[in-house]
Amino acid sequence: MIRHALVSFVSAVALAATNTEPLSAQGVRVKLPAWPELVLMDSLRQEHKLQGTPEIIYQAVLKTYTDLGIPTGNTDGKSGIIGSERFERMRALGKAPMSLSFSCGESATGSNADAYRLTIAIVTWVTPTDGGGTTLGIAAAASGVDVTGVYKNPRECGSTGRIETKILEGVKKLAR
């Protein structure tokens, strides 16, 4: 009983911290329904070196998010972080079937990502590099729930890398 109460208290504190703390450059943590613990988005980050100032790249990321239909949630211009933590989507993202961006397993009817309601987190980091360039870091993760029939537990969904690639391509195109 005490252990259960302690686990509930720790979980509540962690969730409250996630929902109220601003993004920090040293650890973006997001609570997704399928994971029992916070997802450290930094550990999923893919980094790319780009030409252009951080200011130009940052604006290009914001425009690319809009073009792909990704809502801009928590941003921190000083730290160069753009976060879209916990938005929900079904069937499509970035004008393509959800299964191209996330993998939630398969069923008799095909990819679960195309049928589930996904809770998605996407974070982008824009940092200056030595020599005048910019490093663009991108991370995405999701959690899916089957919306047919009775409630089922959420399922972890891994990124296929497509949405990160679409963000990178959009930024490169806009930052020329």
In angstroms, the CA 86 to CA 170 distance is 22
How many independent structural domains does the chain possess? Answer: 1
**Phi, psi of 125, deg, nearest 5:** -110, 135
- pLDDT over 70 (residue 151): yes
Vertex 91: Cα angle to 89 and 95 (nearest 5) = 90
CATH code of 39's domain: 3.30.530.50
pLDDT digits (tens, 9 = 90+) for 14-33: 333 334 334 444 589 999 99
Contacts of 119 (CB under 8 A, 6+ apart): 32, 33, 86, 87, 88, 142, 143, 144, 145, 154
- Give which of 168, 172, 165 is closest to 51, Cα–Cα: 172
Q: Are strands 110-111 and 75-76 parallel, antiparallel or unpaired?
A: unpaired
For the record, the structure tokens of 34 come out as 């399928």
Contacts of 49 (CB under 8 A, 6+ apart): 129, 133, 134, 135, 136
pLDDT digits (tens, 9 = 90+) for 98-124: 999 999 999 998 999 999 999 999 999
Contacts of 80 (CB under 8 A, 6+ apart): 25, 54, 58, 125, 126, 127
pTM over 0.85: no
In angstroms, the CA 146 to CA 38 distance is 22
Predicted confidence at residue 155, as pLDDT, reads: 95
Q: Give the rounded percent of residues in the chain with a pLDDT score beyond 70.
A: 85
In angstroms, the CA 59 to CA 122 distance is 16
Given a contact cutoff of 8 angstroms between Cβ atoms, the answer to whether 67 and 118 are in contact is no
Q: By residue range, what is the domain housing residue 153?
A: 2-174
Compute the average pLDDT of residues 140-167: 93
pLDDT digits (tens, 9 = 90+) for 68-108: 999 998 888 889 999 988 899 999 999 999 999 999 999 99
